[in-house]
Amino acid sequence: MAMAVQVSLIGTDRVVDRALAIYRAHYERTVEVPLGEMVDCEIGIDAARLAAVAAVDKRVVEIAVDESVVCEQLIPAVWSLAGQGWSVNVMLPASRIGEGHLALRGVPCTLQPWWEDQAAVAFGAYETP
């Protein structure tokens, strides 16, 4: 007998809010900006609308990936940001971290899984794809 499994998804707005709070707790100047506004190349509309957290002083960009974006769509954006001197971290739902490793291998970024831990968003360790 097959059973349907319903996955509980949270929006990346909570992930972005948590990332902003972490940076700001360390007195970092941070802004939330659509990924499409940070890159100097064309990227797919799904990737362009993703929220990015830019820690201006550290030159770190955290891209919050939801369930709708295929990881391969991030490749041009990551290369563009790295070329501009940003360190790039891709925050993925924990269930998609394997996909991120396969798609972004050799791309200049780190991956970080996120999940909902009771009522809060939690993050795993940084990983190199």
Written as one string, the DSSP assignment of 32-65 is: EEEGGGT-SS---HHHHTSEEEEETTTTEEEEE-
Domain that holds residue 99: 12-123
pLDDT at 113: 96
pLDDT of residue 1: 36
The answer to the question of residue 61 being in a domain is: yes
Residue 40 counted as domain residue: yes
Per-residue model confidence as pLDDT tens digits over 27-72 = 789 999 999 999 999 999 999 999 999 999 999 999 999 888 999 9
Q: What is the pLDDT of residue 80?
A: 98
Mean of pLDDT values over 5-21: 71
| pLDDT of res. 43 | 95
Q: Is residue 1 part of a domain?
A: no
Helix (H) or strand (E) holding 99: helix 97-104
Q: Does residue 94 lie in a domain region?
A: yes
- Overall pTM > 0.85: yes
What are the tokens at 37? 């506004």
In a domain, 2, yes or no: no
86 inside domain: yes
Give the count of domains, the chain: 1
In degrees, to the nearest 5, what angle opens at C-alpha 105 toward C-alphas 52 and 44?
45
Is the separation of the CB atoms in 75 and 107 below 8 Å? yes
H or E segment to which residue 16 belongs: helix 12-25
**Greatest CA separation found in the chain?**
55
